[in-house]
Amino acid sequence: MRRLVLVLGDQLCEGLAALDAADRTRDVVVMAEVRDEATYVRHHPKKIAFLFAAMRKFADTLRDAGWDVRYTRLDDPANAGSICGELLRRAEETGAQEVLATEPGEWRLIRALQHCPLKVHLLEDRRFLASHADFDRWAEGRKSLRMEYFYREMRRATGLLMEGANPAGGQWNFDHENRKPAPDEVAIEGPLRFEPDETVSEVLDLVERAFPSNFGRLRPFWFATDRAQALQALDRFVADALPRFGDYQDAMLDNHRFLYHAVISLYLNAGLLEPREVCEAAEAAWREGHAPINAVEGFIRQILGWREYVRGIYFREGPDYVTRNVLGHARALPAFYWGAETRMRCLAKAVEQTRDEAYAHHIQRLMVTGNFALLAGVEPHQVHEWYLEVYADAYEWVEAPNVIGMSQFADGGIIASKPYVSSGAYISRMSDYCRSCAYSVTKKTGKGACPFNLLYWHFLDRHRARFEGNPRMAQMYRTWDRMDEDRRATVLAEARDFLDRIDAGETV
């Protein structure tokens, strides 16, 4: 009997479990650009365009490989508007009654498939280096689920960057050699850019018409949209940027959006690149003497460690993870996250590049937009939705643990052993934003004092009961307690005043 083979927009990989389990002489591949998926949050136009263009090209690749592909475009009048609706329509059209599907990366869609009135076989997504069972086996019985130990196990299990039973280079982690402050100049061109071809141009026009008011600039559009291009983008990164990736991993520059980052997460997450091949390319660069171990280990840790780990947490914690809010934060997300004016240079630049590129690198996400939202006490679910909307690489399995857990501490410390909060001093050390900011990073109180400086103490003070016993935060509380009482009162009053001004919609 004929079956439908569902291929979702972030499953663009020929080795996909559902394709592997299907018979190309008989089964029918279903791919669809549906409104439900494009609108459940108001995605950045570049993200929608990237996915639709990559889907259309992948459908052609499958047709060339002999598959019968039924592809529905967004503007097709027969489009049912949802994944399940499209499956039902194609089932009627082909007489198929069963569906082979690869597990989606969001509980929302898993539920939708489970409730679809067809027999849906959900197969585990094998594009990851750790299966659910691998992660659960590692996590079982542990008091704390720290990434570093998981990562070492993954190194052993995959043999990546290993010399026999030992870590290559003699250490598991070279982070102490990384995290240098921002360089004065970045001497590379940045990620490889692709001119829109006919397929991409057609999609850009469609997205422009269909999503005119979503936050973000659609053009210029330069992402890779097929596997061959994504591989070229990876090659460019390995050749140019990887050698200095470690050194400047945490740096931020006012006039350089990408520094030495790979800008490949959107390709990995959509299936155009596979994690193992990316790690192997980096390892080969080290073995050939092209890139130093601190860069290569640091890079591989992000993919083999963090990426696999956050996925494990997402599926282990379950669907309610995205609603957690242990700190009880309730403030609305300030308007400047959507491009309204702010005098805080670091935030203005991070949001500006997010609007233009649907991209910001890790430290901008964690220590600028994330840090500010946490310090200001923004409701984590709103923060979560913002990140899901604005980044081209955002899918719940990877975005939610990074936002709810790592960045907002809303899960109570499953991922982070302490909240990622900092005053302006950290941003000043790692970037050149403060040099052209209306606020002064060295001013702790009074007119023009950096808001991060005020909010940092306000955060620590309001969450004292929860955090003062945390040994990693003891020093912060000692410093706060050493300040004289008047000064502490001034800091808290100015922080409250600043937050009131945000709530009143004033430009801050």
Task: Enumerate binding residues for ligand SF4 (CB under 6 A).
Answer: 344-346, 424, 427-428, 433-434, 437, 439, 441, 450-452
- Of 261 and 345, which CB lies nearer to ligand SF4 in the complex structure? 345
What is the spatial distance between Cα 172 and Cα 418, in angstroms, rounded to a whole number?
22
- Of 411 and 494, which CB lies nearer to ligand FAD in the complex structure? 411
Q: Binding partner of residue 407 among ligand FAD, ligand SF4, none, CB under 5 to 8 Å per kind?
A: ligand FAD
Q: Does 393 bind ligand FAD (CB under 6 A)?
A: yes
Q: In the chain, how long is the greatest CA-to-CA distance? A: 79
What is the spatial distance between Cα 245 and Cα 177, in angstroms, rounded to a whole number?
11
Q: Does 406 bind ligand FAD (CB under 6 A)?
A: yes
With beta carbons less than 8 A apart as the criterion, state whether 246 and 294 touch: yes
Q: Binding partner of residue 437 among ligand FAD, ligand SF4, none, CB under 5 to 8 Å per kind?
A: ligand SF4
CA 423 to chain centre: 24
What is the spatial distance between Cα 87 and Cα 113, in angstroms, rounded to a whole number?
10
- Of 206 and 268, which CB lies nearer to ligand FAD in the complex structure? 268
Please give the single-letter amino acid code of residue 318: G
Q: Does 192 bind ligand FAD (CB under 6 A)?
A: no
Q: Does 370 bind ligand FAD (CB under 6 A)?
A: yes
What is the spatial distance between Cα 438 and Cα 337, in angstroms, rounded to a whole number?
18
Cα atoms in the Cβ-side hemisphere of radius 13 Å centred on 213: 0
Q: Binding partner of residue 310 among ligand FAD, ligand SF4, none, CB under 5 to 8 Å per kind?
A: ligand FAD
What is the spatial distance between Cα 228 and Cα 423, in angstroms, rounded to a whole number?
43
Strands 162-163 and 166-167 come out as antiparallel
Tell me the C-alpha to C-alpha distance, in Å, between residue 331 and each of 46, 372, 378, 383: 28, 12, 4, 10
In the list 84, 192, 272, 394, the residue contacting ligand FAD (rule: CB under 6 A) is 394
- Of 252 and 264, which CB lies nearer to ligand FAD in the complex structure? 264
What is the spatial distance between Cα 473 and Cα 461, in angstroms, rounded to a whole number?
12
Helix axes 107-114, 83-94, angle to 10 degrees: 40
Q: Binding partner of residue 398 among ligand FAD, ligand SF4, none, CB under 5 to 8 Å per kind?
A: ligand FAD
- Of 307 and 329, which CB lies nearer to ligand FAD in the complex structure? 307
Total chain residues near ligand FAD (CB under 6 A)? 28
Q: Binding partner of residue 182 among ligand SF4, ligand FAD, none, CB under 5 to 8 Å per kind?
A: none
> Which parts of this chain interact with ligand FAD (CB under 6 A)?
261-265, 268-269, 299, 302-303, 306-307, 310, 361-362, 365-366, 370, 387, 391, 393-394, 398-399, 402-403, 406-407
